Amino acid sequence: MSDKLDSKIPAGPLESKWTRRKSEIRLVSPNNKRKMEIIVVGTGLGGASAAASLGELGYNVKIFCISDSPRRAHSIAAQGGINAAKNYQNDNDSVYRLFYDTIKGGDYRSREANVYRLAEVSAAIIDQCVAQGIPFAREYGGYLANRSFGGVQVSRTFYARGQTGQQLLLGAYASLNKEVSYGTVKSYPRHEMLDLVVVNGQAKGIIARNLVTGALERFGAHAVVIATGGYGNAYFLSTNAMNSNGSAAMQCYRKGAFFANPCFAQIHPTCIPVHGDQQCKLTLMSESLRNDGRIWVPKKIEDVQRLRKHEIKPSQIPEEDRDYYLERRYPAFGNLVPRDVASRAAKERCDAGFGVNETGKAVFLDFADAINRLGRQRVAERYGNLFEMYEKITDSSPWEEPMMIYPAIHYTMGGIWVDYDLQTTIPGLYAIGEANFSDHGGNRLGASALMQGLADGYFILPVTIGDYLSNKFAEPKTDVNSPEFNATEKAVQARIDRLFAIKGTKTVDSIHKHLGNIMWDYVGMARDAEGLKKAIEEIRKLKKDFYENVNVPGSQYEFNQELEKALRLEDFFDIGELMARDALNRAESCGGHFRVESQTEEGEAKRDDANFMYVAAWEYKGEDREPELHKEELKYEFIEVKTRNYKE
Amino acid sequence: MDFNLKIWRQKNAKTKGHFETYHISGIEEDASFLEMLDILNEQLIREGCDPVAVERGCRSSGPVSFDHDCREGICGACGLFIDGRAHGPDEHVTTCQLFMRHFKDGATITVEPWRSSAFPVIKDLVVDRTAFDKILQAGGFISVRTGAAQDANNILIPHDRAEESMDAAACVGCGACVATCKNGSAMLFVAARVSSLALLPQGRPEAKRRAKAMVAKMDELGFGNCTNTRACELECPKGISVSHIARLNREFLKAKFSD
């Protein structure tokens, strides 16, 4: 292991690690908590739950978001559900099984101790959310209802129709509002973090731009928590919200926080296919649909051609002429294989010429069987809003004809490197939720993002951060007029001035689209060494083009969305390059990362445990220098590492 | 498809706004309304830096600012007043889920921000909705610490009651109800939160206090009164029923009587 990376995993048996760590953590007394300030950046499930919990503990919290309200954070768009090892269905679920499924689903590239802790606190998340008044789906007897998600064989997913993320976020947001009303949390909407301030090697504050006035503002604290989500928008087209970005993570990276496994991006199998060049955003259809929907393409190429010419409707193709390829290839899990497996299988069929729409990039997700089996009313209760949403977008009704779906970028498992306490390589800087890397390895299972965001925010960070803060109460408040704040603000100002000075002719979006094409073509669902090298070269060229030819209209001191986008795009270049570099280094296939050179005869991903069973943590070395790779070896002490098999 | 877009332009809260009209062509009918605005903005930025266009008297105020984020109809960030209707002509959708196939080719489309004294314009089509946050901060929560709660299945909630609570909880906080109401009332927004919690046993203990505090804050922030025209229900993208306003009124009156 690199001497710079200490994961601080507690010793002892797996089941007692978290209890042991909690008992070792030093406490901060209530009167000292009142003297301490914590900055939380981001108001999704991780950020909102962390800020609310820290406020409840008595710390002074400042929380920042780029939207007009904390409630807009992209967690709100999560549809299907949240996992928890409650075993309410008595189907032999347990903390161990949730842990095991998550490790296996992540293709043995996540950290054992962190994942076990995630499974361990999962049940308490449901208790907390119910106590907040979240209207989860219920059985007629009043008990909580469950459903299944990909990669598992039990029903442990709790849900609120197809709006689970919305309801969980509104719960966390309500707790946040409670703390705002008590004065422990101060909320700064329409503020964007533009740099981290490090003083004597410790995170002490941020520089943020007030998006309404355009002014740069300084905020000091005893610790900083990054909860700004993932970086999937490097691909331009993704299921992420339009404003989701990886800039805060990149700012931390450039200030010395290591960035782990950047190449692990999840491509979600069930998204509405691209309709044309004018599109800027892809829409996800929840994985929960795979509980009852069956995925297929025609067996005969003639049927494919007739479908593309609109000569026949999908429902007219007889049962025997349909290829339910997931059920065929993976009989044990069928339509509920993990996302990476389902996405690659869809690509395989479409590459073979069986894509069912004009672009050749779509497969069917069919509910006819479910409607016959369950009746329209029960299907509507489970998926009604998703069916409506699909129909609004595509003008085609899933009640009549199957949905058309295709994989799209959805989530990033990689992120800022953190230790067991969720602290980064910069003391006092923490990263939680999608912004860190630790729990999902090479592939995240469905309904686990919400679980991780809330586990980090409600139960883990508020405890572990105390250990760092316990000897800081005697320190004075951070002085925002210190030389470090002056220098950091000056550097941010120079970055903004540079953008306005270019006065080129290309729009930010047109360059971002170009970046997206490079990413999708070379760092997408199938990657090879040659393509990845090309990606690095192309991204560098594009970045140069950006600095010569971009046009950022308007000025700094106004509400200026083009400036916001330009600043984020600068960081997407660096993320894109880092992703390609990491993908090039990882010459194995694993989880969502598929290297063409590393596959079995059947075309399944082939892992290389002998050479790559490690976390790749990248250290920034300067603008024009290659980053340095540090390896955190992954040791599996409590489970046997196997080849993932969803066939039997 | 081709359109003429008559769009409200306003530099900031302190200046007066005006309409500007732009022509746009080549829009796919499967494009969303906001994708069309993205394309318009690309056009306006290009014209803004094209010396020929500037010489021709291109007097655009630069790209049009508008709030948007998830583009899946759930974050509640987008909200435009289109041809006199909140979120435009389609039923039960947010602006981001409105598609150009609902418009006639060649039509002139008028686009305005939400008009409400409680939602001042920040720029162009962007308004300040922090008043909604303030209303929720006045009481839209359960005030206990929930971190060490009892087992979730100890609180039994009948299926239909949970569903009704969920109907109210579906509010996305977009502000269409306020923009639609002739009085600029936020009653549907307040009622959705009060009702969702009042329907559940977890929310009952504070139901009266919550109703009173949130209504008082709504009044203080300059929202108007409800006169039961039910316009809000028609334009709500999530179809939230005014029956929740009735439940809010019941909780509010109970609180008044027990004072």
Q: What is the pLDDT of residues A471-518, one digit of tens each?
A: 998 888 999 999 999 999 999 999 999 999 999 999 999 999 999 999
Query: Residues 166-185, chain A: which have Cβ within 8 Å of B?
Result: 166-167, 170, 173-175, 177-178, 180-181
CA distance A531 to chain B (A): 30
pLDDT value at A103 more than 60: yes
pLDDT value at B29 more than 70: yes
Query: Residues 214-243, chain B: which have Cβ within 8 Å of A?
Result: none
Residue B46, CB-side half-sphere exposure with 13 Å CA sphere: 9
Quick check: is A511 in a domain? yes
Which candidate from B35, B71, B166 shows the least CB-CB separation from A161? B166
8 Å CB contact of B75 and A141: no
8 Å CB contact of A551 and B156: no
Q: By CA distance, what is A182's nearest residue in B? A: B137
CA distance B97 to chain A (A): 7
CB-count exposure of residue B228 (10 Å: 0-12, 13-18, 19+): exposed
Q: Is residue A501 located within the same domain as residue A607? A: yes
Q: Is residue A360 located within the same domain as residue A499? A: no
Quick check: is A9 in a domain? no
Q: At what angle do helices A112-131 and A95-105 cross, to 10 degrees?
A: 120
Question: Is A192 within 8 Å of A209 (Cβ atoms)?
Answer: yes
CA angle B60, B69, B221 (to 5 degrees): 85
Which candidate from B30, B74, B153 shows the least CB-CB separation from A76? B74
A296: helix, strand or coil: strand
Confidence band for B52, pLDDT divided at 50, 70 and 90: low
Which candidate from B39, B69, B200 shows the least CB-CB separation from A243? B69
Q: Which two tokens stand for residue A415?
A: 């992120």
pLDDT value at B58 more than 70: no
8 Å CB contact of B70 and A71: no
Quick check: is A520 in a domain? yes
8 Å CB contact of A175 and B97: no
- Chain A partners within 8 Å of B121 (Cβ): none
Tell me the DSSP string of A45-85.
HHHHHHHHHHHHHT-EEEEE-SSSSGGGSGGGG--S-EE--
Q: Is residue A626 located within the same domain as residue A491? A: yes
8 Å CB contact of A88 and B153: yes
Quick check: is A297 in a domain? yes
Quick check: is A179 in a domain? no
User: Bigger pLDDT: A287 or B20?
Assistant: B20
Find the mean pLDDT for residues A395-422: 96
Q: By CA distance, what is A177's nearest residue in B? A: B137
pLDDT value at A276 more than 90: no
- Chain A partners within 8 Å of B129 (Cβ): 68-69
Quick check: is A195 in a domain? no
Mind listing the pLDDT tens digit for each residue in A589-627?
Answer: 999 999 999 999 988 899 999 999 999 999 999 998 999
Q: Is residue A402 located within the same domain as residue A488? A: no
8 Å CB contact of B142 and A551: no
Q: Is residue A273 located within the same domain as residue A395? A: yes
Strand A60-64 relative to strand A185-188, pairing: parallel
Question: Is A21 within 8 Å of A11 (Cβ atoms)?
Answer: no
Find the mean pLDDT for residues A222-245: 97
Mind listing the pLDDT tens digit for each residue in A335-381?
Answer: 999 999 999 999 999 999 999 999 999 999 999 999 999 999 999 98
CB-count exposure of residue A637 (10 Å: 0-12, 13-18, 19+): exposed
Please give the pLDDT value at position A4: 74
A247 reaches B (C-beta below 8 A): no
pLDDT value at A454 more than 70: yes
Which candidate from B39, B62, B197 shows the least CB-CB separation from A553? B62
Which candidate from B31, B73, B122 shows the least CB-CB separation from A559? B122
| Domain at A494, CATH number | 1.20.58.100
A127 reaches B (C-beta below 8 A): yes
Q: Is residue A528 located within the same domain as residue A623? A: yes
CA distance B209 to chain A (A): 14
Domain end point (choices A410, A440, A470) = A410
Q: Is residue A618 located within the same domain as residue A510? A: yes
Q: Where are the CATH 1.10.1060.10 domain residues in chain B?
A: 129-257
Mind listing the pLDDT tens digit for each residue in A552-590?
Answer: 999 999 999 999 999 999 999 999 999 999 999 999 999
* Selected residue of A178, A268, A510, A555 to mutate for chain B interface (largest B Cβ count, 10 A): A178
CATH superfamily of B129-257: Alpha-helical ferredoxin (1.10.1060.10)
B54 reaches A (C-beta below 8 A): no
Q: Is residue A406 located within the same domain as residue A494? A: no
| Residue found by looking up tokens 């309801």 in the block | A167
- Chain B partners within 8 Å of A392 (Cβ): 73, 90, 93, 97, 99
pLDDT value at B59 more than 70: no
8 Å CB contact of B72 and A77: yes
| Rounded distance between C-alpha atoms, residue A246 and residue B255, angstroms | 47
Can you say whether the dihedral through the CA atoms of A110, A116, A119, A122 is positive or negative? negative
Q: Is residue A301 located within the same domain as residue A383? A: yes
CA distance B191 to chain A (A): 15
| Rounded distance between C-alpha atoms, residue B60 and residue B47, angstroms | 8
8 Å CB contact of A178 and B30: no
**Active-site residue flag, A339:** yes
Mind listing the pLDDT tens digit for each residue in A126-168?
Answer: 999 999 999 999 999 999 999 888 888 899 999 998 899 999 9
Please count the other Cβ atoms lying within 10 Å of the Cβ belonging to residue B192. Answer: 27
Which candidate from B97, B122, B132 shows the least CB-CB separation from A69? B132
Domain end point (choices A373, A395, A410) = A410
Architecture of domain B3-123: Roll (3.10)
Over chain B, what is the mean pLDDT? 94
CB-count exposure of residue B9 (10 Å: 0-12, 13-18, 19+): middle
Please give the pLDDT value at position B112: 98
Nearest to A148 by CA among A210, A100, A81: A81
| Rounded distance between C-alpha atoms, residue A435 and residue A437, angstroms | 7
Mind listing the pLDDT tens digit for each residue in B207-258?
Answer: 999 999 999 999 999 999 999 999 999 999 999 999 999 999 999 999 989 8
- Chain A partners within 8 Å of B133 (Cβ): 69-71, 177, 187, 189
B2 reaches A (C-beta below 8 A): no
End-to-end CA distance of chain B: 60
- Chain A partners within 8 Å of B150 (Cβ): 127, 131
| Rounded distance between C-alpha atoms, residue A467 and residue A129, angstroms | 26
Q: Is residue A272 located within the same domain as residue A360? A: yes
Tell me the DSSP string of B74-122.
-S-----EETTEET-SSSS--GGG-BGGGS-TT-EEEEE----TTS-EE
Q: Which two tokens stand for residue A230?
A: 């993932």
Quick check: is A590 in a domain? yes
Instruction: Report DSSP state, residue B12.
Output: S
Which candidate from B129, B172, B202 shows the least CB-CB separation from A131? B202
B15 reaches A (C-beta below 8 A): no
CA distance B6 to chain A (A): 21
Number of domain units in chain A = 2
Q: Where are the CATH 3.10.20.30 domain residues in chain B?
A: 3-123
Active-site residue, selected from the candidate residues A109, A147, A294, A339 = A339
Kindly report whether the global pTM for this prediction surpasses the value 0.95: yes
Q: How many interface pairs between A and B have CB atoms less than 8 angstroms apart?
A: 224
Q: By CA distance, what is B49's nearest residue in A? A: A505
Confidence band for A1, pLDDT divided at 50, 70 and 90: very low
Q: By CA distance, what is A72's nearest residue in B? A: B75
- Residues spanned by the domain of A318: 268-410
Q: Which two tokens stand for residue B11?
A: 């530099």
| Rounded distance between C-alpha atoms, residue B87 and residue B208, angstroms | 33
| Rounded distance between C-alpha atoms, residue A206 and residue A208, angstroms | 6
Domain end point (choices A352, A376, A410) = A410
Q: Which two tokens stand for residue A499?
A: 């953008």
Over chain A, what is the mean pLDDT? 96
Q: Is residue A501 located within the same domain as residue A604? A: yes
